[in-house]
A = this chain, B = another copy of it.
Amino acid sequence: MGMAAPVRPTAALDLSADVVAITQAICDVPSVSGDEGHLADLVVEALADAGHLEVIRDGDTVIARTNLGRDRRVVIAGHLDTVPINGNVPTRFADEDGRRVLWGRGTVDMKAGVAVQLKLARELADPVVDVTWMWYDHEEVAADLNGLGRVLRTRPDLFHADFAILGEPTRGEVEGGCNGTLRVDLRATGRRAHSARSWVGENAIHKLAPALERLAAHGAETVRVDGLDYREGLNAVFVTGGVAGNVIPDDAVLTLNYRFAPSRSVAEATERVRAMFPEYEVEVTDAAEGARPGLDDALAQEFVRAVGAEARPKYGWTDVARFSALGIPAVNFGPGDPLLAHADDERVDCDQIVACERALRDWLTGAER
């Protein structure tokens, strides 16, 4: 007789509970990137008897879609994984200036958003648009592991849609698109010499002076894209150089991170950086396209109107860029303050979760607000 495998003592997920209770339930199932399997199991199980949904499992990504023959289809997606837990699971409720908050890992990024989606997926058998719900793995780690990226490679057909909503935390507002990001190494070279005879050498660290001057003088530019103002940022994030305490260094490297407006491509952003630092070797080490907000699209405008909030730009890079790259307008919309994402004091305002659920439900059911 073999030994029984250890079983996690998690009850089935009850999607008829209120959305705050669902948030707590799924936060209390740890799902740090790479360990999403059990939560994905619970999601599949909770949707199994929803006759209006076609449920597809791909690794630890769960996709559930309606096939009602609507003339428009919307993807609504959220990631199941979190950054590592730091003593902040299980979650707990607290009172903060008279508001009820749920404390703990994942409450903001982004299980409150996932809870809203799960509840509506289970309950809305007859939405006004066809919906493809996607809950995916490995968002918080290296981009090549991302579950959304994987499914896009293996099942591109699942990505046919007219509009996409990601449940990333936006305080319940609509944040459109996102800036792109570029990382480059600027390298200065010189000639080694003993520092007692420094005039024989050529100091590579000193040669970084003009680059740092330009960076210090460069204000973050603001670029208007599809009606939203994207603030850029061009910053040194690393600097390194030096051989020994008595040697004139022949090599110094400054690593820059350029967060650029989604009206620019990676190629344009790279060209901009090269033009700004013509005297250095420039090596691109990492880049991701931004995403235009796509708020000139009729469906997107309807959604913004329905939610009743002003649309804003998203600064951080999110998976909306994947949809944008496919030509699908995409926005972020979810409960939680993005500044608390990954923080040890991560916590979400419970009213915000409820408000997000109501707004999304109203839009999907065509209710007047």
Say whether A183 faces chain B, with CB atoms less than 8 Å apart: yes
* Contact indicator per residue, chain A 278-296, by CB within 8 Å of chain B (1) or not (0): 0000000010000000000
Chain B residue at smallest Cβ distance from A178 = B196
Asked if A231 and B199 sit within 8 Å, CB to CB, the answer is yes
Can you tell how many copies of this chain the complex includes?
Answer: 2
Of the listed stretches A7-15, A84-92, A212-220, chain B binds: A212-220
Chain B residue at smallest Cβ distance from A234 = B198
Asked if B199 and A220 sit within 8 Å, CB to CB, the answer is yes
Chain B residues with CB under 8 Å of A317's CB are 196
In the bound complex, how far is the Cα of B206 from the Cα of A173, in angstroms? 34
Chain B residues with CB under 8 Å of A198's CB are 220, 233-235, 259
Given A206-B216, A216-B206, A220-B199, A238-B242 contact (CB < 8 Å): yes
Say whether A64 faces chain B, with CB atoms less than 8 Å apart: no
Say whether A308 faces chain B, with CB atoms less than 8 Å apart: no
Say whether A236 faces chain B, with CB atoms less than 8 Å apart: yes
Chain B residue at smallest Cβ distance from A179 = B196
Of the listed stretches A122-130, A131-139, A243-251, chain B binds: A243-251
Chain B residues with CB under 8 Å of A241's CB are 236, 238-239
Say whether A155 faces chain B, with CB atoms less than 8 Å apart: no
For A, the interface residue count at a CB cutoff of 8 angstroms equals: 47
Asked if A239 and B209 sit within 8 Å, CB to CB, the answer is no
Asked if B238 and A239 sit within 8 Å, CB to CB, the answer is no
* Contact indicator per residue, chain A 251-264, by CB within 8 Å of chain B (1) or not (0): 01011010100000
Separation in Å of the A229 CB from the closest CB of chain B? Answer: 13
**Contact partner, A239, options B183, B234, B252, Cβ 8 Å:** B252
Asked if B237 and A242 sit within 8 Å, CB to CB, the answer is yes
Say whether A189 faces chain B, with CB atoms less than 8 Å apart: no
Asked if A239 and B242 sit within 8 Å, CB to CB, the answer is yes
Chain B residue at smallest Cβ distance from A209 = B212
Chain B residues with CB under 8 Å of A248's CB are 235, 237
Say whether A195 faces chain B, with CB atoms less than 8 Å apart: yes
A interface list, Cβ under 8 A from B: 179, 181, 183, 194-199, 203, 205-209, 212-213, 215-216, 220, 231, 233-249, 252, 254-255, 257, 259, 286, 315-317
Shortest 10 CB-CB contacts between residues of A and residues of B: A238-B242, A198-B233, A209-B212, A205-B236, A206-B216, A196-B316, A196-B315, A209-B213, A195-B257, A239-B241
Contacts A196-B315, A199-B233, A237-B243 known; list 16 others, CB within 8 Å: A195-B237, A196-B317, A198-B220, A198-B233, A199-B220, A205-B239, A206-B215, A206-B216, A207-B216, A236-B249, A237-B242, A237-B246, A237-B249, A238-B245, A239-B240, A240-B240
